[in-house]
Amino acid sequence: MDTVQHYIGGKLTSGASARRAKVYQPADGSVAREVVLGTRDDVDAAVRAAAAAFPKWAATTPLMR
């Protein structure tokens, strides 16, 4: 089964948690994949990565984005 990971700082990561949740296919109710549930540390890492990336992103023109 496919597992949806976190994307933090330009990299896929499994995160610190062993907790997972099922993602259901709405058309038929079957389990399509599972998603890794984030911890407080995962969220903090994502916020730090976003804050570090923001200046370069903000300086990029909309056309280049």
Cα–Cα dist 13/57, whole Å: 22
pTM of the predicted model as reported, rounded to 2 decimal places: 0.75
Distances (CA, A) of 6 to 45, 61, 62, 64: 10, 27, 25, 25
Per-residue pLDDT of the chain (65 residues; tens, 9 = 90+): 799 999 999 999 988 888 999 999 999 999 999 999 999 999 999 999 999 999 999 999 999 98
Report pLDDT for 15. 82
Report pLDDT for 14. 87
Cβ atoms within 10 Å of 6's Cβ, excluding its own: 20
Report pLDDT for 12. 94
- In DSSP terms, 4 is beta-bridged to 35
Report pLDDT for 18. 87
